Structure 1
Amino acid sequence: MLQMKGITKNYPSVIANDKISFDVKIGEIHALLGENGAGKSTLMNVLYGLQNLDNGEIFINGQQIHISSPKVAADAGIGMVHQHFMLVENMTALENVMLGLHQAKPPLLDIKGTREKFNSIVEKYGLVVDPDLPVWQLSVGEQQWLEIIKLLFRDVKLLILDEPTAVLTPAEAHQLFTTLRFLISEGRSIVFITHKLDEVQEIADRITVLRDGKLVGTLNKEEASSFQLSTMMVGRSVTLERRPRPIITEKSPVVVIEDLQCKNERGLTALKSINLTMYSGEILGVAGVDGNGQRELAECITGLHLPTHGKINILGKLVSKVVDDSSLLGFIPEDRHRTGLILDFTVYENLVMRTYKDPPFDWHGKTNWGKVKTFAKELIKRYDIRTPTEIVLVNTLSGGNQQKVVVARETNGQPSVVIASQPTRGLDLGAIETLHELLIKERNRGAAVMFISTELSEVMALSDRIIVMFNGEIMGEMDGENANVLHVGEMMMGHRIEN
């Protein structure tokens, strides 16, 4: 169905794609693996018309095609769901689908016909999305479905899915795989970009690995082991298993939460009487299906969300007194693009957003940018941030390196508390391993670390203690070393287990 031959894409400081050849057969799911910066997104952006190739050829069903824009790609039957969704948040799901659709009698909109087709697609593929809800009221999982519905409306033949399960619960991921199998049974083809090796081995027919802009190899699913794939991805063996860590016997309360209650942005109850203590030298894992109060808990602790009742103390001080103190509180938010970075700022500007007004950077109200850049270079080296220089825009970095910028800024001051909310979302294997190491390092130096994730395997690998949230409540708590997957799963479904 698709052939890409000798694709080369150069940027001023890097070769993003170096003579890469890639093909997809009709009725096939072809997984694309590689670390952030390996060239996966660039290759797919070339295919989708977002980037122009410098050399190489693209064939669709045997016919050579020059894809100069997403419209040309769409006309050729190619559609893409980006890792960061392309939706208008204040418009409804149905209105988002209608954007860009050809109308039979312009400028009139066929709302009735579109609604009927929307409902037909939802029913056929077993999706659950309310067409009349504005996008901002949809869960991230529902927004993912909506992006796929948009492609099915256009009857695309080749779907490109960039980290499609990064925002899905295990149940939603299972539903996605069922839907994808249905799609290929209809003769469609799918490019599945992911870093999750277990998913690749479950869903893919073939697997192609890129590293440093080059093609490493393509394997059939039957001949690909997790060890082999991870080694191909990063050039070495990688482990995300539970790591040995020093036992810290003297732990003291750092964060004390009493009867915490709050509402979400829709005005609905998000947290119900949360009582919780975080201790120094401990990683507290927070497990649960996305949307059960984890985000609100993190934002209340960091002062970004006002509770309706209860109180939070950090080392005896109210949260409102410490949110600007980088020596007390560091926050790695779940969406680095929305709340973690200013994408149109440079790397060095993002690294000092919390401290540029402090000595030695501020001198009588003026910023010493020379000292700022020197400091940024030190952080870039210490946290191994892969960037050409400190003066490039942060939006030019890979996702993993963008996350390193956030982590460097938030932990450099050695805060007493580190709140990490979905910090590995959308990251590849090597970047996840690096982030795990950084969080364990924070724990080992005595910080109280909260690790919020929908990836149960990560929570169990990192945490000293685990709580599970459901519907704004804590269902139970257990020791991380001896945590039982079945018990955690039961609590994620709303079954309370007493300590």
Structure 2
Amino acid sequence: MEQNATAVELSGITKRFPGIVANDGISFKLRKGEIHALLGENGAGKSTLMNILFGLYQPDEGEIRVNGMPTVIDGPSKAIELGIGMVHQHFKLVQPFTVAENIVLGSEPSKGGVINLKQANEKVKRLSEQYRLQVDPNMRIEDITVGMQQRVEILKTLYRGADILIFDEPTAVLTVQEIEELLEILRSLAAEGKSIIIITHKLKEVMALSNSVTVIRRGKVVGTVETKSTNERALAELMVGRSVSLQTEKSRREVGKVIFAAKDLQMKSNQNKLVLNGVSLEIRAGEILGIAGVDGNGQSELVQAITGMVKLSGGQVSINGKDITNQSPRQTGLAGISHIPEDRHKHGLVLDFTLSENVVLGNYFQKPFNNGGFLKYEEMDKLAHKLTTEFDVRSSGIHTHARSLSGGNQQKAIIARELWRNPSLLIAVQPTRGLDIGAIEYVQQRLRQARDEGKAILLISFELDELFELSDRIAVMYEGRIVGEVDPLNRDNQRLGMLMAGDTNA
């Protein structure tokens, strides 16, 4: 391979949408065999730029060169023809199809006009062995983990012959272990000569993985640096234009009366397995209770039980002394519970509703937004203006559809709405997932502020640093049970890890 040969060069790329310039004269260069991080705040224009490279958008101005040749990429099929593959933040997989069917979809091996599934399975098996991306070709997408689904997306691009790979926020939905596995996969792909662009805002991953970094702020490039010559603090300042701190001095706090109580919660899965097995916990006014645990140990079911999305088979849930066991989501909301959900698309937003409509979900049937069954759009708009300004939700206006916002701005809109509802109990599940460092700082500050105002907060996060930083107490869940507590003021990673692995003697 020619030393420092260029795989992709973008020159002066500009892309406008109504009311916003997403990319403003951006120039960017990817060398062959390197991992280049594209870093920036939510809504900075990173995904738009890569969607242009993959042919999903057309630039209004500028030139694209692939392997030194000027080209017009007028659609994804042209990008694939040029050896460009993209793994999107929200996977593009057909859930009822098998792994192999998804990988070969659109390029199926066939015999006499009939798809040859045996050959497809064999091809996928060979490819997964070649790139050490172990997957079972016969499993259905709906039955495999998110980390495995991501491997399927990567294999899809490699099956189509991609040498230039774009990853859009690839670790946003992965567990800690899956993130480590993915970073190893990306390193090995680069070592085999693939050229990789990773869109992210996670500074630790940038430092651990990339060879170089380009930082975009509000649609413009503010710097390109070699990773070895920079550090997290310098990148954070480039990204948000100011110094950022995610650490505060912690001390023992006075707490108030019990706001929320769960006693001996029991829940069975569709397969009759006990997914909540006697969970009991209390949260007091002015307290953040963090829940630690490997994903899939009952955290999601606990939240579903409290918010009324799934019925309990036993136990009691109460808020401010009132029994709300097995009440509907609307009733639990009216009782004083707000919920920042784990999956913002499934449970947080209606993607085809506007920002203005989304900020009143859960309250649209009440005054001042409803009068005799008719929505009062001027009141909805007033609230939307207030919240999007206060929480810096970046869009082309409050009548923008939620699906057109970046993932981070979607998250900020949900957090703004749930805090505005002034709950007694705020359930925050992965509240900073998909947010840039400036937004993380702001959200954590708002959660502390809500706690200081006397709210009870249940925080579920797979980011251990976040749990230790925000929580006043940390309970550990394993196989549907609370197996122990750790004190955030005396950080003991070893004991926490043992409890997360089910060692109740830790």
Query: Would the TM-score normalized by the shorter structure come out above 0.5?
Result: yes
TM-score normalised to structure 1 length: 0.95
Contact 2:473–2:488 (CA under 8 A) maintained in structure 1: yes
Q: How far, CA to CA, are the matches of 1:129 and 1:269 in structure 2?
A: 28
RMSD of the TM alignment (CA)?
1.9
Q: Counterpart in 2 of 1:341?
A: 349
The answer as to 2:73 corresponding to 1:70 is no
Q: Which amino acid aligns with 1:253?
A: V
Q: Counterpart in 2 of 1:12?
A: 18
Q: How far, CA to CA, are the matches of 1:484 and 1:183 in structure 2?
A: 36
Q: Which amino acid aligns with 2:267?
A: C
| Percent identity for Structure 1 against Structure 2 | 44
Q: Counterpart in 1 of 2:33?
A: 27
Contact 2:251–2:489 (CA under 8 A) maintained in structure 1: no
Query: Alpha-carbon deviations, 1:407-435, whole Å to 9, x = none?
Result: 12222121111111112222211221121
Q: Counterpart in 2 of 1:399?
A: 407
Query: Alpha-carbon deviations, 1:299-333, whole Å to 9, x = none?
Result: 11111122233222222322444742346000011
Q: How far, CA to CA, are the matches of 1:106 and 1:33 in structure 2?
A: 48
Deviates more, 1:62-71 or 1:169-178: 169-178
Pairing of 1:423-462 with structure 2 (within 5 A): 423-462=431-470
Contact 1:327–1:413 (CA under 8 A) maintained in structure 2: no
Shift of 1:36: 0.7
Q: Which amino acid aligns with 2:158?
A: L
Pairing of 1:81-160 with structure 2 (within 5 A): 81-105=87-111, 107-160=113-166
Shift of 1:364: 2.2
Shift of 1:16: 0.8
Pairing of 1:225-304 with structure 2 (within 5 A): 225-241=231-247, 243-244=248-249, 248-264=253-269, 268-304=273-309
Aligned in 2, Cα 1:388/1:54: closer, same or farther, shift over 3 Å? closer
Aligned in 2, Cα 1:177/1:364: closer, same or farther, shift over 3 Å? closer
Gap regions ≥5 residues in structure 1: none
Residue from 397, 418, 422 that aligns with 2:430: 422
Q: How far, CA to CA, are the matches of 2:49 and 2:272 in structure 1?
A: 42
Query: Alpha-carbon deviations, 1:99-137, whole Å to 9, x = none?
Result: 112434363112112212222333344434333332222
Pairing of 1:302-381 with structure 2 (within 5 A): 302-316=307-321, 317-321=323-327, 323-324=329-330, 325-326=333-334, 328-381=336-389
Describe the SS at the equivalent of 1:331: strand
Residue from 215, 221, 232 that aligns with 1:209: 215
Deviates more, 1:39-48 or 1:318-327: 318-327
Shift of 1:207: 0.8
Q: Counterpart in 2 of 1:489?
A: 497
Q: Counterpart in 2 of 1:184?
A: 190
Query: Alpha-carbon deviations, 1:1-55, whole Å to 9, x = none?
Result: 1111111111121111111111111111111100011110000000011100111
Aligned in 2, Cα 1:334/1:250: closer, same or farther, shift over 3 Å? closer
Shift of 1:158: 0.9
Shift of 1:292: 2.0
Aligned in 2, Cα 1:334/1:222: closer, same or farther, shift over 3 Å? same
Q: How far, CA to CA, are the matches of 2:394 and 2:207 in structure 1?
A: 29
Contact 1:137–1:266 (CA under 8 A) maintained in structure 2: no
TM-score normalised to structure 2 length: 0.93
Describe the SS at the equivalent of 2:126: helix
Q: How far, CA to CA, are the matches of 1:303 and 1:328 in structure 2?
A: 13
The answer as to 2:154 corresponding to 1:162 is no
Q: How far, CA to CA, are the matches of 1:443 and 1:280 in structure 2?
A: 8
Shift of 1:479: 1.7
Q: How far, CA to CA, are the matches of 1:155 and 1:142 in structure 2?
A: 20
Contact 1:354–1:409 (CA under 8 A) maintained in structure 2: no
Q: Which amino acid aligns with 1:74?
A: I
Query: Alpha-carbon deviations, 1:356-414, whole Å to 9, x = none?
Result: 21122222222222222223223333333333432222223222221122112222121
Shift of 1:92: 2.1
Describe the SS at the equivalent of 1:292: coil
Residue from 217, 225, 241 that aligns with 1:219: 225
Gap regions ≥5 residues in structure 2: 1-6
Describe the SS at the equivalent of 1:89: coil
Contact 1:8–1:56 (CA under 8 A) maintained in structure 2: yes
Describe the SS at the equivalent of 2:431: coil
Contact 1:288–1:470 (CA under 8 A) maintained in structure 2: yes
Query: Alpha-carbon deviations, 1:113-167, whole Å to 9, x = none?
Result: 2212222333344434333332222221221122112122223101111111122
The number of residues matched between the two structures is 497
Contact 1:326–1:410 (CA under 8 A) maintained in structure 2: no
Describe the SS at the equivalent of 1:442: helix
Q: Counterpart in 1 of 2:3?
A: none
